[in-house]
Amino acid sequence: MIFDGHCDIFTDVLRRRLCGETQVLARHHLPKLRAGGIRGGCLVLWVDPPFTANPAERMTALLSAVAAELSECSAAVLVKSAAELEQALRNAQFPILLGVEGLSAIGENVDAIDRLHAFGARHAMLTWNEANALATGAKADPSRGLTELGRRALARLEDLHMLVDVSHLNDRSFWDVLAAVHGPIVASHSNARALAEHPRDLTDDQLRAIAETGGLVGLNANKNLVSPDPAQQTVDQFVRHAVHIAELIGVRHLAFGFDFNEYLADDATTSYNDGGNPNVPGLEDASRTPVYVEALRRAGFSERELAQISWQNWLRVIGEVVG
């Protein structure tokens, strides 16, 4: 059983619903997730390029699409606590922890976080790759960090018991956030920069800092975060990231955040993907997840450790932060 700590599925839900489709989760996504042993996940609201020009409008469309989709899909349910997550599993439903991949849509209105929370969001990142009113993303000005407004947003996230996610921050914002938070933080979909020099991956010092909060790091199957060298964009190299992080900070702080989004590769409305599968060959989509779990087993991870990485660590942190 696997909890995937980062999924962009609601972006696909929105684009398909705008084309007239319904029941997108049931038709296109739940079968692949189940085939891969994924029984729950953090599905995010992501303002994707080129819609970043009007993030509030795109967020409104995402929220409407999510509400409509979930009203049609009894097989999946929005959960707001660890207890609700476990109850959904007992009911043979797919528990969705709703996340927000970047808070650009709130502009300078920190109170808007309350509306996202009221809708059901229990996770948030301050930015995607951009700089916004709150903080600075991994592909923006490296000298700019967290803003005073961002500190207020962090305090509100903590007051609301929402998971704080640092996966898309630049280094300066990362350390600013670490200095401001008081509980566990997550990097839901990042790998080790020691093995792949990518601004979205984490240095060893950053990995240690996350562990010191009691948080976790979700392993990301995006091939560019596994290696900058196409010849090394392999399942075996992806396993090396797991080994490195586990040896550095312990299995207790390691999880999955696969970031599978092959379904966006042929989407002409977004400039994020280049038309090719962004995932490591061999892990083309969520249904292939057992390939990675077996590779971890061959690398020496025990069944107890695999259970921690696959599910238990996420459940622990969700319980500690969200309740």
Q: CB-based contacts of 94: which residues, under 8 Å, 6+ apart? A: 25, 30, 33, 34, 39, 40, 41, 75, 76, 77, 88
Bridge partners of 218, per DSSP, are 255
How confident is the model at residue 266, as a pLDDT?
61
How confident is the model at residue 271, as a pLDDT?
47
Q: CB-based contacts of 294: which residues, under 8 Å, 6+ apart? A: none
**CA 184, 206, 320: angle at the middle one, nearest 5?**
10
Q: What is the pTM of this model?
A: 0.96
Residue with tokens 């803003």: 147
Q: Mean pLDDT in each 10-residue stretch from start to end of the chain (323 residues)?
A: 97 96 97 98 96 96 98 97 97 98 98 98 98 97 97 98 98 98 97 97 98 98 97 98 98 98 70 71 97 98 98 98 97
Three-class SS state of 100: strand
Tokens found for residue 48: 């994707």
